[in-house]
Structure formats: C-alpha cells, structure tokens
C-alpha cells in the first residue's frame, strides 16, 4: 500500500471534520447571541412590566 492511498482518506476526513466544526461553531455563536438578546429582552419586559406596556400604549 502506498502512503498516498493511506493519506488521502485521512486528509479528506480532516477536511470534512474542519468544515463541520466551523459550521457548528458558527451556529453556536449565532444561537447564543440570539439567546442572549432574547433573554435580555425578556428580562426587560419582566423587570419593567408596567413601563413597557405604558410605552406601547403611548406609541
């Protein structure tokens, strides 16, 4: 068996693993950012409940 035939599937696997890893980290970053925005917004609604509804009715 030549080293090239052994090395190419490993390189292909590493390339696929790297692509999947990058996509997963991107998804996790975006999801965590949206989660933080949603949690802070929800916290804002719960904290300033009357002020928030007052602001909506004033608009």
Q: What are the extents of the domains in the chain? A: 3-58
Mean pLDDT by 10 residues, the chain (59 residues): 68 92 95 88 63 58
| Cα–Cα distance list, 1 to 7, 9, 14, 28 (Å) | 11, 13, 21, 41
Sign of torsion over alpha carbons 32, 37, 41, 44 = positive
| Cα–Cα distance list, 37 to 7, 16, 21, 22, 28 (Å) | 45, 32, 24, 23, 14
Q: What is the pTM of this model?
A: 0.47
């Amino acid at each position: 068996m030549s080293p090239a035939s052994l090395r190419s599937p490993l390189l292909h696997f590493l390339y696929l693993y790297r692509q999947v890893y990058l996509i997963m980290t991107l998804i996790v970053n975006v999801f965590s950012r949206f989660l933080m925005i949603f949690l802070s917004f929800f916290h804002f609604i719960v904290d300033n409940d009357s002020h928030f509804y007052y602001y909506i009715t004033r608009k």
